[in-house]
Amino acid sequence: MNLEKNFGSNVGYLQVFAAAFIWGSYGLFVRGLDYSPEFILFYCFFFGFSGLLIYVSLREGLTWVKPCLANWKWMILPSCLTGLSWLAYTYSINFTSVSNAAFLIYTAPVFTVIFAPLIIKERLEVRTIVALIISILGTMSIMGYSTLFSSGLSLIGDLIALAGGMTYGLLALYLKRLPPGVLGLKSNIVLSAYIALALLPFVLISAERLNLKGFFLLMVLGLLQQTFAATLFHLGLRSIKAQHAGIMTYIEPLAATVLAALFLHEGISAGSMLGGALIITAGLLIVTRKDQV
């Protein structure tokens, strides 16, 4: 019985790790797209929803509809938090530096750890705090040192990114409150539908139109980031603590650096290598825990 429990917990960590690594490819796609944030995110969630709809319908028929409809109210807040965090991240880049925006978005686990005892009554662990500090230092090492909260438009961008980090950090906590039978494919399909519907008016009134390259990139982006990665994240939350999941998502900036080096031929600095080592150390510190949820 303990073996099965430990195996299930390890699978949860692998699922969250894989999701965060895939999310690290977001910048690669956006680099090749010349569309507004609302346009990109609408099609990301639309294609993500379409992929989920096809998969779940083929796998379960129409039996998935009833639990989704029965728990639709549970998904309103997580959907808002998801949409706001993605919009904040994308918009903040227009006002502040990419490194500032990325670093402040990755404050999300800080808010997850802070609010976990209040929202879902998770006991705050000393090891989690240590891992969080190590991860933050690792992220700073990867992204370098820049001026945060300076003035003017840069300050506005920094504040938007920080708000995005807070909403992203709260997301894991409210997903964790979902009924176990809903958290996973069903929660992600409802969340994707909500966000696509909310962004649809912006696309309808927009003068932007999809070309063949944009259609292909946005379809792959949606299927990869939302259909696959987000579902893995939702499934992983079933068996691990929200605060642990937050620490594991720090693999995302490391993945972004590695993927940029592979596909965009960007160099990997000594700071990036040090940061990567710190983030991996923090992840191992969390994964090797014996008392999982």
* pTM (global) more than 0.75: yes
Query: Does residue 250 lie in a domain region?
Result: yes
Percent of the chain topping pLDDT 70:
87
Cα–Cα dist 96/159, whole Å: 10
- Summarised one tens digit per residue, pLDDT across range 99-120 is 677 777 888 888 888 888 889 8
CA distance readout (Å), 224 to 18, 164, 196: 11, 22, 16
Q: How many domains does the chain have?
A: 1
Residue 282: which of 112, 138, 123 has the closest Cα?
Answer: 138
- Summarised one tens digit per residue, pLDDT across range 25-70 is 887 887 788 888 899 999 999 999 999 989 988 887 777 777 667 7
Provide the mean pLDDT of the chain: 83
Query: Does residue 206 lie in a domain region?
Result: yes
Which residue reads 């191992």 in tokens? 284
Query: Does residue 156 lie in a domain region?
Result: yes
pLDDT for residue 261: 78
Residue 161: which of 109, 103, 77, 113 has the closest Cα?
Answer: 103
Candidate ranges 58-72, 145-159, 235-249; pick with highest mean pLDDT: 235-249
Give the helix ranges, DSSP H, for 106-250: 108-119, 126-143, 152-176, 185-204, 212-221, 231-236, 242-248
Query: Does residue 292 lie in a domain region?
Result: no
Query: Does residue 192 lie in a domain region?
Result: yes
Cα–Cα dist 5/289, whole Å: 13
Higher pLDDT, 145 or 175: 175
Domain of 42? 2-287
pLDDT band at 150 (very low <50, low <70, confident <90, very high): low
Q: Answer yes or no: are the C-beta atoms of 170 and 246 closer than 8 Å.
A: no
As to burial, measured by CB atoms within 10 angstroms (0-12 exposed, 13-18 middle, 19+ buried), residue 267 is: exposed
Please say if the pLDDT value at position 90 is more than 50.
yes
